[in-house]
Structure 1
């Protein structure tokens, strides 16, 4: 009877040890996946910011290139120069 009980306890102890080991492995995997997820979220945030900038940059650049007016204040001042009204540049 004693041998049967010791064998049963040994099996239970082995099963508990295996459960503890798997639990530790699961905890480590969860910690690692949490870190991976945080780094991916940072990358997604950076990509979202880049895509927003690119989405607004294209139309602004097209508008700037097609703008009929002067490209800078300097060009504007030069185009508005009149004899006697503005000193010659």
Structure 2
């Protein structure tokens, strides 16, 4: 069963440079640790969510140590604050 994590972030600003770095650096890094997909969604002027998909909960669990490192690196590089993490099995999809 597919598994998803959703992280909620706030930042001092959302610059074009930050968004480009997210796409060019962080998306590939997340995919390299086992994610099957990732979307970074700007939810407000200075907020965003990162939705990461995995094949199943076991793959997600195996990736979490590296994902924690990436979260720490991103929060330092962009002066961002991790506001919350939600995760679970996908129960319906289209």
TM-score, normalised with respect to structure 1:
0.22
Whichever structure has more strand as a proportion of its residues is 2
Higher relative contact order (CA 8 A, sep 6+): 2
TM-score, normalised with respect to structure 2:
0.21
Whichever structure has more helix as a proportion of its residues is 1
